[in-house]
Amino acid sequence: MYWEALSLEDMNKHIHLALSHNVRYSDDTVMGYPASFLDRVVFPKAEIDQSSSFWKALWENPNHIGCHTFGLSESVFEGTHKIERDLLRICAEELLQAKPQQWDGYVASGGTEANIQALWVLRNYWENIHANIHASARSKRRYAQELHNAMTIISSEDRHYSIDKVAGIMNIHHELIPVEETTRRMNLEILSNTIDAETSEGVKFFAIVLNMGSTMYGSVDDVDAVVALFETKSVEFMIHVDAAFGGFIYPLVSPDNKLNFQNPNIISFTLDAHKMLQAPYGTGIYVVKKGFIESVLTKGASYVQGQDCTLSGSRSGANAIAVWMILRAYGSKGGSAFCKDIWERTNTLCQGLLDIDVSFFREEYMNIVTIASSCISRSLAEKYHLVPNCHDNPKWWKIVVMDHVDKTVISSFLFDMAHEDKDPGIVYLPNAGKKPLEN
């Protein structure tokens, strides 16, 4: 896992060169595109910091419509498309261990879009593979509908709600598997029974969504156990990993991350740069193994060079540049050091909670700590803006140790917690004090 850190000066040179290879609304004769630079009344160019390549990119407004990792894409923005490809390469090959150039993807509007894109791709890939054995267009359509009805989405009850959205949008049956209370991982006995029940109803294909850092608990699903179970069944299955939160911390600190592209059953990942990377909102990332994303190629987008296989279509090139700058400013060593510092602060918080007998859940190499509601008053939780698992009658309150949650904030919180009346209960997974991966 290695990518080079670049100085701000070097990054600016790369980006200014990329922008110079794009069409420029202020300098070139551009009459065919339904866009321009940012509005000159609200965003006067004179007020744009020309020394900042990000602000300059915002003003020049490159469109990253389509997918730039295979085939053709809009040549008038090719300069900054290269920037997006490099950030996707870092995510796919360095963080997630894909083989060189054996991946596709794009910067999406967020994790929700990336999850919808992922399951859309899996469904279409599976339908296309099987329906193409039929010769006529009519039989292909009929067979594809039959296959659609023979598909089920499997996820844990701790999934992100975007998976529910996918099931509703695509009208695909979705099975939620209860989790074990102490590990937040899928109950394998119930999962096995669910597979059997679904196959008895004619289901042949399962799209599995696994968590790398679930939204509420930061839990990480056991891919080996899930794959081993599915391999005992006579069904087809593929895995999408929702790493919207964990994707930019878990691979950097966990010494044994098995959720990566080396697993032949894992097809795609969602990551969110606007979480751990502290990028602007609107910077979700979708990466997928080569040969899948073409399944959703929209041939109706004939006016788009190379057509389009993304859910969102037009996208901000400046947002992609922002993510690339963060990855390149830190490099792999700086990124690992940043994540380890956050991880160690989380250890400090957990050890403090153990010292005062507070019940909590914490995945070993994550920076989310979820406290049992019996151990904290609503007023204290709201004072520190903790997030409940549900607002009406919460069972858990979530802390996310981010860059702004420094040791002073943690000490203040632990002091207040120590003076609360609380029920000690049971402490779940007190993983404070273990060492992260050494790069």
Per-residue pLDDT reduced to its tens digit, 150-172: 999 999 999 999 999 999 999 99
- How far, in Å, CA of 198 to CA of 153, rounded? 11
Run of H or E residues at 337: helix 317-355
Task: Give the CA distances from residue 110 to residues 131, 274, 283, in Å, rounded to whole numbers and listed in that order.
Answer: 31, 8, 5
State residue 43's pLDDT score: 87
The span from the CA of 382 to the CA of 155, in Å, is 30
DSSP output for 5-33: ---HHHHHHHHHHHHHTS--TTTS---SS
Name residue 138's beta-bridge partners.
none
User: How far is 252 from 259, CA to CA, in rounded Å?
Assistant: 12
State phi, psi for 104 to the nearest 5 degrees: -135, 175
Q: Euclidean distance between the first and final Cα of the chain, in Å?
A: 8
Q: What is the pLDDT of residue 439?
A: 43
3-class DSSP assignment, residue 199 = helix
Residue 102's contacts (CB-CB under 8 Å, 6 or more residues apart) are 261, 289, 290
- Given this model, what pLDDT does residue 305 score? 87
pLDDT digits (tens, 9 = 90+) for 25-65: 888 888 998 889 999 898 888 777 777 889 899 999 999 99
Closest CA to 101 of 109, 91, 93: 93
Which H/E stretch holds residue 165?
helix 162-170
**Residue 104, helix vs strand vs coil:** strand
Domains with residue ranges and CATH for the chain:
100-299 (3.40.640.10), 332-418 (3.90.1150.10)
298 contacts 309 by C-beta, under 8 angstroms: yes
Cβ contacts of residue 293 below 8 Å, gap of 6+?
Answer: 67, 69, 70, 104, 105, 121, 309
Radius of gyration of the chain (CA): 23
Q: Provide long-range contacts, Cβ within 8 A and 24+ apart, for 406-411.
A: 406/345, 407/345, 407/348, 410/345, 410/348, 410/349, 410/352
Q: Splitting the chain (439 residues) into consecutive groups of 10 residues, what average pLDDT does each group show?
A: 94 95 89 90 81 88 94 92 98 98 97 98 91 67 80 97 97 97 95 97 96 97 98 96 98 96 98 96 97 93 88 95 97 97 98 95 97 94 96 94 97 95 46 46
CA 99 to chain centre: 19
Q: Residue 210: what residue type?
A: L
Rounded CA separation 111/123 (Å): 18
